[in-house]
Structure 1
């Protein structure tokens, strides 16, 4: 087995910059969650309409996802990731300051569209950095996303607890996030992404049927895992506030417990994946998530619900990184195609999940609606054969070459 190369200073700086991008993306999204109850009340929305408004976001993501591979080839992953993140922060402010229900829905759509570009570009840049390390570091990047979500969730909970206005919340958060974005750019890798420099066939890309079916299965694994995460993000604060009568500050902790446990799972996930493989890690995690959420829904209380969300977060921690890894390393696909198709399918969860839970909560109750979480974990187990059994982390290691820091070029 080949020995992984010692990463250069520039490679280590690039790893830190990519981690910061993941942190920013998680913080931006999670900071909204504790304010959802106030936004919904200010706009006088039912759970059904609120869920539909949130679900409209993936429509923007699905449309934007059709062009991400082309944009990545025309530019660089560093440039796309940083500028898309700027757009996401500005739209985050628009969500918080929406004057009407339809303005809120439109801001969610556009924010989701920019998130697609950020998501794919920062994952592609992270895999470029991983090649320089010669070992798995991908789960640690996603762990930084989770850390960002913890930070954003805590910040949002704090602002909710002190009853800070939504406008001031937007202003303070935007200053912090845009400052970090500007500071990290010069540490990203320079030049075009290596895969983009390879010759690619002209015209439309034809994907063999067996590869397409594999990508569909991977996308569904990601979609079901994402639906677990999305249920916590979209509904935890409202469920804790309305269903369990938690205070505004405490209600925001549902997403913090979910992503906090997810952070632990992702920081330890690389070792778990090395031992069990992506497939085995997914099955173990989904078992823990199923038990935890089943207990939380069977015996509803604030402490047990927070525990259930924590189990769900830890359980799905390695699944989305595993889906991206398998899709990115599938032979016979042009650069970015596997990631784009899987990411497009993954976002179906964000389109279907929120209105389904919202409608069930209006018609029945939140406890019944949140049964989608343990049902989704069972689906992940059923489709987990699409994930890699074990990884070969040496296959992507290129010949050593000098890497320079970048200004996002």
Structure 2
């Protein structure tokens, strides 16, 4: 972000980036109620669906690796604009796919677009935090969750009243409109490889950091994302199969999870300023684990949905704290650290659910979600690793 940028421009850039996060959340929220419909449409079982989701994850991971390198050469701004707009048509491509091979190809493309946007938006968020001199990461992720809640709830209703095809087109149009309105106000830093005004030329170093602390943060991000990806990809199936929930009710599992995350994330920056990142991370992990355990043991669909919502309250600030810790990790470039933590972390939401599908097929959803609760409790023991989250390097 240029050192000559005014504070007003930086503030506008923050809100424009919030729209990019919201658009990404809308895409995922609109996708959630579509997932169960793929089974009868293409005559596949949950194992095949898991492989399709794995293809989505592979596409996303490839995009994240390329995006991390591209940021160093081009900066976040031009790439973020392109990725935000390119995501709009991917859901209709998936929904309208006439055959299983074309569906698999569309899923990989879906993952590519998601992966590019995730890396670029979070890297741009670190730049804006430094320009404004305060934390904004949690609230930006809150806009992602808000977009997911709106698209998930409205999308489930549109599907129940019209069709999956209509819902995908409405979602694509809404995302494109939001991105086009906000795009002119985005701002970004010069490429990492380019000299900053008034500073010496950037020192060339390895793209992948060797400090094991960065990789530990990446694994923590993966552990934090696994529950989110599991509820997104399998929550609706769990509610439908275990409790006989209809399409609308089944779609509310992820919607309420995303809603509780959004509410908590909008408070997250203020809470971190008062209590610190480590303490917030510790108690968030405990709350998330309790909610997931409740969902696993629930006697009915609405108790399970309530458990997912409680889990969302806890999961809300886990990833934002980890990303801020990575962006401010001592002795590391923000872009290099973010590329590793984002790439490893997003494996949890993009690739791990494919394994969750296999576990659910063989052991049932209750056992699977119960195991996720245990894993989330394990994150609380690693809270001290996020200490750098509050050490912002204000530019």
Quote how far apart the aligned CAs of 1:351 are. Answer: 5.1
Give 1:201's aligned residue: 203
Quote how far apart the aligned CAs of 1:193 are. Answer: 5.4
TM-score (norm 1): 0.88
Quote how far apart the aligned CAs of 1:205 are. Answer: 4.5
Aligned residues: 387
Deviations 1:207-260 (CA, angstroms, capped at 9, x unpaired): 44xx2x101110111001100111111111111122211111111110111011
Deviations 1:273-310 (CA, angstroms, capped at 9, x unpaired): 22332222122112112222222222331121011101
User: Could you say if the C-alpha distance between residues 285 and 203 of structure 1 is closer, same or farther in structure 2, counting changes exceeding 3 Å?
Assistant: closer
Mapped to 2, the partners of 1:295 and 1:127 lie a distance apart of: 35
Give 2:171's aligned residue: 173
Higher relative helix content = 2
8 Å CA contact 2:145, 2:259 repeated in 1: yes
1:309 and 2:311 are equivalent in the alignment = no
User: Could you say if the C-alpha distance between residues 196 and 314 of structure 1 is closer, same or farther in structure 2, counting changes exceeding 3 Å?
Assistant: farther
Quote how far apart the aligned CAs of 1:70 are. Answer: 2.3
8 Å CA contact 1:69, 1:335 repeated in 2: no
8 Å CA contact 1:45, 1:101 repeated in 2: no
Partner SS state of residue 268, structure 1: helix
Give 2:114's aligned residue: 115
User: Could you say if the C-alpha distance between residues 313 and 203 of structure 1 is closer, same or farther in structure 2, counting changes exceeding 3 Å?
Assistant: closer
Deviations 1:317-359 (CA, angstroms, capped at 9, x unpaired): 1111111111111233345110111111113223552222212
Mapped to 2, the partners of 1:206 and 1:57 lie a distance apart of: 23
Quote how far apart the aligned CAs of 1:203 are. Answer: 6.8
8 Å CA contact 2:230, 2:349 repeated in 1: no
8 Å CA contact 1:128, 1:193 repeated in 2: no
Mapped to 2, the partners of 1:44 and 1:247 lie a distance apart of: 20
Deviations 1:253-272 (CA, angstroms, capped at 9, x unpaired): 10111011101110111122
8 Å CA contact 1:95, 1:107 repeated in 2: yes
- Aligned positions of 1:371-382 closer than 5 A: 371-382=370-381
1:257 and 2:260 are equivalent in the alignment = no
Mapped to 2, the partners of 1:259 and 1:61 lie a distance apart of: 21
Quote how far apart the aligned CAs of 1:377 are. Answer: 0.5
8 Å CA contact 2:326, 2:389 repeated in 1: no
Give 1:126's aligned residue: 125
Give 1:189's aligned residue: 187
Deviations 1:171-217 (CA, angstroms, capped at 9, x unpaired): 22212211221111111126625785343334745744xx2x10111
Mapped to 2, the partners of 1:195 and 1:305 lie a distance apart of: 49
Deviations 1:35-84 (CA, angstroms, capped at 9, x unpaired): 21112221112111112211222211222222222211232312211211
- Which stretch shows the higher mean deviation, 96-105 or 303-312? 96-105
Quote how far apart the aligned CAs of 1:386 are. Answer: 1.6
- Aligned positions of 1:223-242 closer than 5 A: 223-242=222-241
TM-score (norm 2): 0.91
Partner SS state of residue 382, structure 2: helix
Mapped to 1, the partners of 2:131 and 2:334 lie a distance apart of: 18
Quote how far apart the aligned CAs of 1:129 are. Answer: 2.2
User: Could you say if the C-alpha distance between residues 31 and 196 of structure 1 is closer, same or farther in structure 2, counting changes exceeding 3 Å?
Assistant: farther
Mapped to 2, the partners of 1:35 and 1:261 lie a distance apart of: 21
User: Could you say if the C-alpha distance between residues 200 and 334 of structure 1 is closer, same or farther in structure 2, counting changes exceeding 3 Å?
Assistant: farther
Give 1:218's aligned residue: 217
User: Gaps spanning 5+ residues in structure 2: where?
Assistant: 1-5
8 Å CA contact 2:222, 2:347 repeated in 1: yes
8 Å CA contact 1:229, 1:312 repeated in 2: no
